[in-house]
Amino acid sequence: MIVSAALVVTAAVVGFCGPLLLRWVLRARMPARLRFAAWILLLGSMIAAGAGAVATAFGPGHEAARRLVAWLRLDTLRHQEVLHLDEVVGVSGALLALGAAGAFALASIRRYRRQLRLHDRHFAELSMVCRASAGVWWLPSEEKFAYSIAGKPDLVVLSEGLARDLSEPELAAVVDHERSHLRGRHHRLVGFAHAVSAALPFVPLARQSPEFVAAAVELSADAAAGRRHGPATVSAALHRMHPVRSAATALRLEHLARGHAATGILALATAALLPVSTAATLIVAGAWTAAPALLHA
């Protein structure tokens, strides 16, 4: 029971404290892969802790499955029995896991189909009104925007108004930024984050994952474009494209100004050690508390 309870609390701690760590990870100076690694570590450890609690409850010495059947048949009520904590955790955790897996699969399928429809519609419309040059579709619009859509073929779309407003190096940096999204499969990462949010909307770490991934992929694409064209060029393009600076744009400009040296290792280490240290501390504390009772049993 001590192990089950420790794992449940660990999953809760990671699920509710994870967003605070992710905000730190976004601010820290580290390569893009380490940001995604921190997110996966937190998400994976939360899921692993929850799954471990369920597995422990159904493991040797715990007859949760048999007692669940008996409870459903009202045998426990007839004999005035009460389910133990680890059995409640096992049963409720198993039902939660099934529901979350179903919601994740449904959200993934819906997003994949939406992505296909979005790509096909854009490709058909762009083919009629745009000119294509060097893999870039130029949309005749005075608005300043750039975006990319993954598919076959991948689409990089820029407005002609943006092309007239940016210098040639800045425009090349914007194109490379969008291509970095496609090379890094960033659209899949964003889709995965949205599916996780749909599966566990009541968990802050899952619910805020789309916002974190959306910011992280922009920082990743900025870094890739900056390595090729220079951070100053990417910053200049951002200033022209977003004259009214939002919080997201300010974060991107801040990282471009500071560089991307790997000085955020402490944030990554904290993300990795939080679930391990929490579980270990709770198990040791529980065992220490229960030791006198076990010795005198």
Strands laid side by side in the 155-159 sheet: 131-133, 136-139, 155-159, 146-149
Distance CA 269, CA 35 (A): 11
Q: Which of 42-56, 140-154, 212-226 has the lowest mean pLDDT?
A: 42-56
Give pLDDT, residue 294. 44
pLDDT class of 224 with cuts at 50, 70, 90: very high
| pLDDT tens digits for range 147-199 | 999 988 899 999 999 989 999 999 999 999 999 999 999 999 999 999 999 99
Helix axes 247-258, 231-241, angle to 10 degrees: 160
Q: Mean pLDDT across the stretch 93-105?
A: 86
Give pLDDT, residue 60. 58
Q: Which of 24-33, 75-84, 221-230, 235-244 has the lowest mean pLDDT?
A: 75-84
Q: Is the pLDDT of residue 293 over 50?
A: no
Q: Is the pLDDT of residue 76 over 60?
A: no
Q: Which of 23-27, 180-184, 231-235, 285-289 has the lowest mean pLDDT?
A: 285-289
Record the pTM: 0.81
Contact, 222 vs 256, CB < 8 A?
yes
DSSP class of 184: T
Give pLDDT, residue 67. 55
